Amino acid sequence: MLADADLDLLLAARHPDPFAVLGMHADADEDLWVRVLLPGARDVALHDTRSGRRVARLVLREGTDGFFEALLPRRRKPFDYRLKVRWGDDEPVTMGDPYRYGPLIGEQDLHFLGEGSHLRPFEVLGAHPLTLGEGVYAMAGVRFAVWAPNASRVSVVGSFNGWDGRRHPMRARGPSGIWELFIPGAGPGDAYKFEIRTRAGEVLPLKCDPYARGAQYRPDNASLVAAPLPPARPLPQGRAAANARTAPVSIYEVHLGSWRRHPDGRFHDWDDLATALPAYAADLGFTHLELLPITEHPFDGSWGYQALGLYAPTARFGAPEGFARFVQACHAKGLGLILDWVPAHFPTDAHGLAQFDGTALFEYADPKEGFHRDWNTLIYNFGRHEVRNFLTGSALYWVERGGVDGLRVDAVASMLYRDYSRPEGEWIPNVHGGRENLEAISLLRRTNEILGSECPGAITLAEESTAFPGVSAPTYAGGLGFHYKWNMGWMNDTLRYMAEDPINRRWHHDKMTFGLVYAFSENFVLPLSHDEVVHGKGSILARMPGDDWQQRANLRAYYGFMWGHPGKKLLFMGQEWGQPTEWNDAAELPWGQLQDPRHAGVQAWVRDLNHLYRDEPALHRLDADGAGFEWIDPQDRDHALFSWVRRDGHGRSILVVCNMTPVPRLGFRLGIPDAEAGTTAWTERLNSDSRFYGGSNLGNGAAALVVQPVPAHGRARSIELSVPPLATIFLTPC
């Protein structure tokens, strides 16, 4: 019989090694004993798995709730068995015994996890459905594993054990800090958490699984056992080329929860979204979708940027399997899919990562490093091996197993600098006394290297708002290894310019030209993102000056300037038709506005810009190369005119002219660069002032604009044309 001291520890859920006493064990006389702890059970019998025969009826120890044991008669060698358990007055249930199975995680996995070099920690940690044994001995269940090095006890609790921490205490795997347990009978769809007792004896609020691949729908927050891991999915043929620096990349940024909703306010599920969203974005000519974070998060108002489940698609849109179908639908429409990914910080919710095992495990311990003042969140400990593994593994998971084309990494600037948004004396310098977060820099480089090696063709994009050098340079050249960087400076400067009354724009001319000073120092994306239409900023349209007509004309001219400017493009949903109000994340977009021809005209302009951008290599092939751009006249501040040429490096060119005043420029003479000397005539390809877009329909029509030997803009040859008011026009060779 089990010693009273061990029994007391078991019943109090404090036993340091439950595997040493539960399950089947031989005593000093080599007699076999079986012991189980099943609180609430009335009767337990043990059956031989091979023969199916009952071997013994276990005896309930007097004064206990559910501790049963028995000496097995005439048995000396361990054997496979099943338990038949009666709960209440119901029929007996056949169960496996978790404590008859040995360790399942190999020493090599433990070693790689401990040193932070495991490429795929999600294959080891978390909840994994599997079947142990074969034939009559086969037992289906779930292997649970979690990292909690400072816990004195970890139990799996869930829908399969009445959320009772006494039922399934886990096995500690030595200095690795990992705990594991195989629970027979558990399976996909089961809800679970971890009950953790600290070394000080405190039982923490139940914790979700950091590696869970599914979660309950808020306000419930348990982790869900997901189906077996999806296989690695390489990018479909052609997708890698579509992500290249020389390819057209025009991104439609979407918050799924407010793109469309049911009339009663419910979210659409993955399959509804897969039917509608890829088709809509593809029709508008976008090449990529970018989703605000779809990893599980507790608070809708964070838009997903305060995530707790970095491996789980949010339950707001249905089961994880639906996300896989959404990815396939995007690729079927020729769209790449980019996910916003947040490795910078996480919320403080008690069921999440904060003080996970009673200590600062995932976060820096010192608030000067570990607490983010702007967002009231915790900052990952970027220097800890296991945390780095957790983050790099998440990035690889979404690209390799989720099948997405890339990740846009949020808040990179906050990761790079230890003094980010902190006053003097409230931050801790690095080992060299500097402000750079060397551990975060190393993590970002490592993540980009892993994705580059394991998922060729996938891309990463950095939301980085400082002048940190080499964000999109390769790591072997000292860069961070991103493929693209958001050009926040361009966005801020040009929006400020466009908000000015045209009569004042001459004094702000440099805001539109300054971006070309550094345009080729990084591989840039020009973003008009969700951040520009929230927190009282209004919509992009609302920032434009003038009456209703002028506002839309300004907006179309601005979009033309953006699509003609070097750099990939990003536009947040609703702005493709000039939504006049600020984005509301709690309701769907005001789709009824598209019945208004003024909004439909803006949408048609965006569609045609995208198709021109995709069809004309001169507008995208050398987006990040100075050889693809030449100013014709960047200095005409008195008339708020801008003109330049884009080239593809193979002889194809496009002229772009922007008039940012309401005054038409008739008989305007535009100098033609010598590099275009072989072209004898140009024609208007797109004109934002066309009546099709809601403009005044002033322009050049289909007329051939013949090159004449008349000097202009310092060039020996020129063309004469009409430049409409508040408009951008594109000219291509005849």
Q: Which residues contact 121 (CB under 8 A, 6 or more apart)?
A: 113, 211, 389, 390, 393
Residue type present at position 244: A
Question: Is position 31 annotated as part of the catalytic site?
Answer: no
How would you write 335-350 as a 3-class SS string?
Answer: CEEEEEECCCEECCCC
H/E stretch holding 93 reads strand 93-95
Task: Report the relative pairing of strands 126-132 and 139-147 from DSSP bridges.
Answer: antiparallel
Phi, psi angles (nearest 5°) of residue 220: -65, 150
Which residues sit opposite 56 in a β-bridge? 46
Asked if 273 and 256 count as a contact pair (C-beta separation under 8 A), the reply is yes
User: Can you tell me the distance from the alpha carbon of 341 to that of 391, in angstroms, rounded to the nearest whole number?
Assistant: 10
Tally Cβ neighbours within 10 Å of residue 677.
Answer: 12
Instruction: List all residues 6 or more positions away from 363 whose beta carbon is below 8 Å from its beta carbon.
Output: 346, 353, 354, 370, 378, 379, 380, 381
* Cα(84)–Cα(629) distance, integer angstroms: 77
Please return the burial class of 63, using the count of CB atoms within 10 Å of its CB with bins 0-12, 13-18 and 19+: exposed
Contact 545, 552 (CB under 8 A): no
Catalytic residue among 69, 410, 439, 532: 410
Question: How many helices (H) and strands (E) are present in the chain, helices listed first?
Answer: 15, 35
Cα–Cα distances (Å) from 673 to 632, 655, 678, 699, in that order, read: 7, 10, 10, 22
Distances from the Cα of 405 to the Cα of 334, 458, 583, 658, angstroms: 12, 5, 26, 34
Q: Would you mind telling me the total number of residues written for the chain in this entry?
A: 734
Known active-site residue 588 = no
Distances in whole angstroms, Cα of residue 11 to Cα of each of 7, 165, 272, 414: 6, 10, 49, 47
Residue among 180, 195, 463, 689 flagged as catalytic? 463
Q: CB under 8 Å to 637, separation ≥6 — which residues?
A: 505, 506, 507, 509
Whether omega before 219 lies within 30 degrees of 0, making that bond cis, reads yes
List C-alpha distances in Å: 257 to 267, 444, 585: 6, 29, 7
Please give the single-letter amino acid code of residue 647: R
Active site residues: 410, 463
